[in-house]
Structure formats: structure tokens, C-alpha cells
Structure 1
Amino acid sequence: MKVSLLSLLALSTAVSAWLPSERNFFGEQPNSVAHNLAAGKGRSVKRYLSAFNKIRGVNLGSLFIIEPWMASQEWAAMGCDGTNSEFDCMARLGQDAGNKAFAGHWDTWITEEDLDRMMDFGINTIRVPVGYWMVEETVYRDSEHFPQGGMAFLDRLVGWAANRGMYVILDLHGAPGAQEANQPFTGQYAGEPGFYQSYQFDRAYWFLQVMTDRIHQHTEYRTVGMIEVVNEPARNHPNLVSEYYATAHSKIRESETHLNIPAESALTIQFMDSAWGAGNAKDVVGDAPNIAYDDHRYLKWSDIEHTKESYLRTSCTDTFGRDGNSPVIVGEWSLAVKSEIENTPEWDPKNADNNQFYQQWWASQVQAYERDIGWVFWSWKSQLGADWRWSYRQAVEANVIPKDPNSAAGIAKC
């Protein structure tokens, strides 16, 4: 991917928040020009592939919130083996030793070389899952155990992305009190989701406002254009929409008003879409500008027939954006299949005979998700041995995912 002149101009004027398609931020990506049409008098007009200017991203899973299932070697090396979450590991190690262990992880899990490889593979966007404890003032020191010092590493990461013209989505992946029970991705293996109370919401607003200020005021964040107010909230909590979504939206805009941010530079605020099943943010934000929705598409856990034919058919015909939710980014998806069959000969990634299916399924998903504004694969890297179904980098290096995402149209056969 090459950064276009328009992208460089955007960077030089510190435009910090927008949807890439609205600014032609990505410019002409490799193979994005379908052909040139003659326009008379020696002029030509470029015609682009349908995927031009789409978000093509990867999640940086287990960077700022480690999930032991996908980073078991790293987890053990840090002294966290046998614990379920960052909270639990920090309680075991103690603050000083824990801070040192996590700093070593942050320094090495994602490097500049990783971002360069992403660009080589046609990736133009990173989604960065973080916990509320990134803003350390929100943490209850007497009862909560989280690593400190992550903000400096986040600053460094987004600066690297900005220098490469990569778009950044910042995702509140771990909410105060945990938005889901027994999920390491919240940073704490909580028996019950404790997030859905006003005082916990207040801490999340605090996080969102601090990060909004930082995005607009620090040059490293100049390509951070979107902030997601919470990842994968639990269902059956009506105050998620009526109270939290409504207030989170107003708090972010309040911070931008205080900073005199013009409308064209306002952050795109992202909510889980109604298909997730936890409510519809559109009920409270209406047709407000600079809103996007996040759809997670894991056929692994879907109620479909778990055959190769069914996976391909489902992905080829997939649709999004119900209940007025638009635009939609498919913010998480993978090549993982139902647990009961994932290691059988018909599905085993170590069996090269299955590579053609997985490549076609990748392409079918890409083609479907680019019917809207794009996709973000989960995840960039993992430590699952030869199983590349959760690792974009490893799947490319195994010649399952092609280096050029534009190849999807010819591979999908939808």
C-alpha cells in the first residue's frame, strides 16, 4: 500500500478523525485501479474496483488485553500461567513485578515490523482493543489489579500507524466491572457482569473523554478516526442503550465541543449493531452524524449447518445493517470453525487438502463484508501452533490468505 498525496495532506494538517472513505485516505492501493477509460483529448478517467477505499484491517488481539487462550506461551513467560485474566495475574505478581512483565509484553508483541508486514499484505487499518485501566485514574487502587504504563506504548503504536498512513479504530474492549461474565477479553474473569450500573458507566465515560481529548490533542493519534464505546456487551441490560449509549455519545461530543473540533474532524463513534442482540444504539442516537456500527461474524458459533458448503453459502449471501444500522464494519471474524469439528481431517488446517476451502471461505467473507465499508480480522497474530485460523499473518505466510486482498473477487466464486 502506498500513501496517497491526499493522505499526506491530511496528516500534515493533523486531521484526526473521519471515515477513510470520506477522505479517500487510503488512496490508490495496490491493484485498486480496474482500468483507465479514455476521456478524449488524451485524458483518461480511472475506474476502481468495488473494494476501493474499503477498511481492510486486523485486530491487535492480546496486545493491551491478553487472552490466555490465544497467547499461552507469552502468558506463561510473563509468570501468569494458571490465571484467567490480567486482573488475576496482576493480583498474583504484585504491582511492580506485574508492571515490568506487562511492559515487556507491550514492547514486543506488536512491533514496527508487524505494521510493515500488514502493509505488505494490503492491510490499511488496525483495531486496537484496550481496557478502561489504560486511563489509570479510573482504577480503584484498593480493589482492582491492572498493569500500569500502557498509555506510553499506545502512544507509540498509533504513532507508528500514523507514520504509515494506517487508519486506527480504538475499541473499549474491557469495561469497568466487566461487560461479560467469565471472559478474559474484559481483562477480568468476573463471575457476573458488573458493568451495568451508573457508577461503572461513569468510569467508562471518563475513559472515553480522556481518550477523545488525547486523540484530538496529540499528533501521534492523527489517524485514529473511530472510537468504539464498548465491545460485545451482555444481552438483556436495557440501560445499556437508554443510559450508557446515549450518554457515551453525548460525552464524546461534549469533549469535542470543548476543544472546538469542527464537524468534519469529529470522531466516528461506533456501537455494536443490533444484530449482536444487546439493543440498538439508533434508538437513542437517531440519525446523528459520524456514527458507525460493529458487526461480529463468527460462523463457528452460529446456528447453521456446519459443513463447508454451508459456510461458503452463508458467507456469500451474508447481509448486514438491519434496523437502520449503517454504515457497518465487520469488526471481528476469522477462519475458525465449530469446536467439535475443527480438528477432524475434513477441517484440520495441518491437512493441506483443506487449504483451498479456507482460501475460498476467506474470499467469500471479504467479498461480503466489503459490500459495506469493510472488515477487521481477528487477529493479527496468535500462538496456536500450526492453526492459522485465528492469525492473519500466519495464514498469509501459509499461503492460505493471498497477499493481495483484491484477489478475493476471483477466488470467492459466489
Structure 2
Amino acid sequence: MSLFTLTLSLLLGFQFVHAGLPAKIYGVNLGSWLLIEPWMMPAEWISMGGEICNDCSKCIQSEYAFSEKYPDTVDAKFAKHWDTWFNQADVDDLLENGLNAVRIPLGYWIVEALVDRKTEFYPRGGIKALRRGLTQLKKAGISVVLDHHALPGVHTPNQMFAGRCTTDVQFYTDYNFHRALVWTAVMTALSHLDPAFETVASIQAVNEQIMDASKTPGYGEFSKNFVKTVRAVETLLNIHYKRGHRSFDDRASSNFTATMEKMSRTSTFSLPVAKALQDAVPILVSLAVELKIQTSIFGLSSLFRKREALVTNFMDIGWQHNNPSNPADAAIGPQAYDSHLYYNFGGVAAPNEEAHMRHICNLNRIETNAALGNTPLWFGEWWLAPMFEASDEFLRKFADAQKLVYGRSKGWFFWNFKIEQSDVIPADYPRTRSYTECVRRGYLTKNPAAVHDPHVCDPYITPAVPA
């Protein structure tokens, strides 16, 4: 038996009981950990050798630009950042604040084999940092959503969170859709096979794709293939994701490569999905060796019945305009939807307290999304920053109102778990965007399920108009 076959046979043999999502999510994003957005930590970024400018495409203000500028030192500098920006002390803070889930933004380059090193520049070693953090989160009992935040080819223009600030958006092509599906297959397999990933309960396909659907050709079909890829991996592992689901007849085999070969010769999976799985196999073999994943062969029948399928996750249909595809059409098995709401960027409510409170207290996104099949819904990004200079009193009210409204959904993830506090960053950033600072200041309650005033929205509710 070759090392290739042996490694995957061992991987297939290892299973564990998988932890699902909490009934109600009270979470935070681990932003700028494994995908740096320099605006959140400008002093550290500058000390590393980065730059801050008004147009992020014009200076060293993305992971791509940094890696291209410092090819010989980028890995060491980022390794230090990964160890210091999120570590055990931060996990302890999450527990101290009663949080039960995190959303982890990731770039596609965390699966290093997907990077074309001739034309693409990103740090190496992030997968080891991810496993270290996931192990700490598992010990704390905190559920995890792996968020594909930065896609191959760049999926949205001039955004630090895309990993590269550029107008040259190339994600919406067959080549990069394929790379994203390979990423999906690898992350799904690791989530089911690597003990460090035990509390990973969901994978998000794409964070904040371009809002104009006419500029995202092929996205609807990619969404369907994303779900099919997740479920294909689970089928190969005999993980049942819906009632009546059946896996391969040889599902008890420990020879994963033989099963893959059988799959490639049949019409069980579509060509894009089959190709993604095939290209993921050597990557998984390499990772198993590199990461020294401890595997053993167990009897499979009893363990498989305990394993929960991952929750596939998309931005909700309301994120896009101009005749978008409905992500609900892609659902196979458990699926959830993500809504983001930021007031300070404009276009939501007039820049005054009354308008902000009326808008949030009358928000109907949950009901609108449910009518289109986008349920359960969670609010994956939000913060307290309004469009105006806010008093402490208003921020307490605004925090209560948002938590009350978002609490009617599956739950929420605040952006961000922390923000740098330094002379370089605007003072209002940590005050309105750092969860730990908002709790310290009393805007957010120590108990995430609680609010200061459960009736805070009463004066702002607009009476329903009789039919």
C-alpha cells in the first residue's frame, strides 16, 4: 500500500462526535487574525512594515501587497502576528463574556497548494495557526463558522478583506470557481477528520460578494456546486445530511482513493464537484503528513451515526440586487443564511438618533428572508458605529435594539472581537467596533443574551397598517 493510499485510508478511519451550532448564537468575528485588515490594527501593521493610505490599492495595505514586498520575511512576521492577535487569553475573554461561537474569516491561501506562487503572493503557515486556535476553541466548547472571506482571483474590488486591493476581479471564472470548490472540499474533509476541527459546525461559501448580481456571473451555479461539494465529501464519509440519504455501497471501506476512483467513473457527482474532490485528495494527503494528524482505524458503523453534517452558509438573497440567484435553491441538508448590517457607511438611515432607532426597531429582514426560504438567518457582521458622533447613552440604546432584533433570528456575530487601541487608530473605532471594549464601557451587557432595557424599541415601533 502506498503512502498516498495509506494516509487517506487512515484519515477515513478516524471520526469523532461533531458539535453543532448553538440553539442561539452569541458570537464574535475573529477578524484580522488569519486575514489581516490593516485598518483594525494600523500601529502593528506599520511596525511590521506595512503602510496605511486612503486608497488601499496604492500602498502596502493588504496581505498580497505585503507578501509581494517582503517575500523573505513575510512568513515569520505573520506567524508572530497570528500568535499574538488571537491566543488563549482571547479565548478566556470570550468565555468570560459568555460567548458561544466565533466566525473565522479565512483567505483561500490558507490551503497553500491553491496559490500560484508565480503570480500570487500570500503568507505561508496559516493552517497551523488555525489548528492551534481551533484546538483552544474546542477546549472552551466554542462553536466555529469557517468563513471563506477572501476568494481566489479576488471576489470584490478594492477591499482589504479580499486579501488584495485591486479592481481586477477574477473570482467569477471557471478557473477560480474550481479553486474555491477545492478549498471547500479540503475544509470539509478537515472539519470531519481532524480532531482540531471538532467544533467547526458551518462553512460559509463567500463573504460579501459584489452586491450587483449582474457583476457576479456564474455565482448561482457556483453556490449549488459549493453545497454539492460539501455533501459529496460527507457522502464519501457516510455522513448523513438529510433523511433518506444514502452513501456509496462500499462506504465502510477504509480505502478512500478507491472510493474516489469509483466516484470519478460514475455520474454520482457533477463534473465540477468530481474534479474538485479529485484535486483535493493530494492536498489532504500532504496536509495529513505536514500537520502530523493523529489517525487510527476504528469500527465505523457506530461512529458514523453520531456525526453531524456541516451547515452550509451563504450571504442572504437580500445582499445582492439586480436579479440575484436565491441561495435557498442550492440547499441540500442543513443550511443557514448570513445578513450584515452597518449603519455608519450610509444608505441605511438618516444621520440622527431617531432615524437609527426607528430603522433598527422596525427591521423586517428576518421575515423577508424567511418568505424567500432564507431561514434560519443569523447576523454575521454588525457593530455600534452610527453615522454621527454618538453619546454613551445612545450607544447603550443602539446596542440593546440591535441585540433584541437580531436575537429574533438564529443569533449574531459582532464585528470584531477586538480592535487595536493606539495613537494611530481613531479613538471611536475600539469604542464602537471592539466587542471587549463595548462590554467594558457598558454598551453591551456582560451576559450576551441580556439587554439593559427590553423595552428600548417601544417608542420607535411603527404601528402596522390594517389590511
TM value normalised by structure 2: 0.73
For residue 399 of structure 2, the aligned residue among 342, 348, 362 is: 362
- For 2:147 and 2:377, the matched residues in 1 are separated by 15
Residues 342-381 of structure 1 aligned to structure 2 (within 5 Å): 342=389, 347=390, 354-381=391-418
Q: Would you identify which runs of 4 or more consecutive aligned residues in structure 1 move more than 6 Å?
A: none
Q: 1:240 to 1:55 in 2, by over 3 A?
A: farther
Whether the aligned pair in 1 keeps the contact of 2:172 and 2:218 (CA below 8 Å) is yes
Letter in 2 for 1:93: Y
For residue 427 of structure 2, the aligned residue among 378, 382, 386 is: 386
In structure 1, the gaps of 5 or more residues are 1-12, 22-53, 348-353
Q: How many residues align?
A: 356
- Tell me the SS of whatever aligns to 2:190: helix
Q: Deviations over 1:81-120 (max 9, x none)?
A: 24121000111111x3000000000010011111111111
Instruction: Confirm whether residue 237 of structure 1 aligns to residue 215 of structure 2.
Output: yes
Q: Deviations over 1:355-403 (max 9, x none)?
A: 1110111111011001011000000111235321111111112222221
For residue 65 of structure 1, the aligned residue among 35, 41, 45 is: 35
Instruction: Confirm whether residue 135 of structure 1 aligns to residue 111 of structure 2.
Output: yes
- For 2:144 and 2:224, the matched residues in 1 are separated by 23
Report the alpha carbon displacement of residue 337 of structure 1 after superposing the two structures with TM: 1.9
Residues 215-254 of structure 1 aligned to structure 2 (within 5 Å): 215-234=191-210, 235=212, 236-237=214-215, 239-254=217-232
Report the alpha carbon displacement of residue 123 of structure 1 after superposing the two structures with TM: 1.1
Letter in 2 for 1:60: L
The match for 1:30 is none
Residues 73-92 of structure 1 aligned to structure 2 (within 5 Å): 73-82=43-52, 83-92=60-69
Letter in 1 for 2:373: G
Whether the aligned pair in 1 keeps the contact of 2:64 and 2:163 (CA below 8 Å) is yes
- For 2:455 and 2:109, the matched residues in 1 are separated by 41
In structure 2, the gaps of 5 or more residues are 1-14, 53-59, 242-306, 458-467
Structure with the larger strand share: 1
- For 1:222 and 1:132, the matched residues in 2 are separated by 21
The match for 2:382 is 333
Larger relative CO (CA 8 A, sep 6+): 1 or 2?
Answer: 2
Instruction: Confirm whether residue 109 of structure 1 aligns to residue 109 of structure 2.
Output: no
Q: 1:98 to 1:201 in 2, by over 3 A?
A: same
TM value normalised by structure 1: 0.82
- For 1:80 and 1:64, the matched residues in 2 are separated by 16
- For 1:240 and 1:396, the matched residues in 2 are separated by 42
RMSD of aligned C-alpha atoms? Answer: 1.7
The match for 1:213 is 189
Report the alpha carbon displacement of residue 240 of structure 1 after superposing the two structures with TM: 4.2
The match for 1:173 is 149
Report the alpha carbon displacement of residue 239 of structure 1 after superposing the two structures with TM: 3.3
Report the alpha carbon displacement of residue 241 of structure 1 after superposing the two structures with TM: 3.6
- For 2:216 and 2:329, the matched residues in 1 are separated by 12
- Tell me the SS of whatever aligns to 1:20: coil
The match for 2:313 is 270
Report the alpha carbon displacement of residue 283 of structure 1 after superposing the two structures with TM: 5.4
Letter in 1 for 2:383: S
Report the alpha carbon displacement of residue 409 of structure 1 after superposing the two structures with TM: 6.3
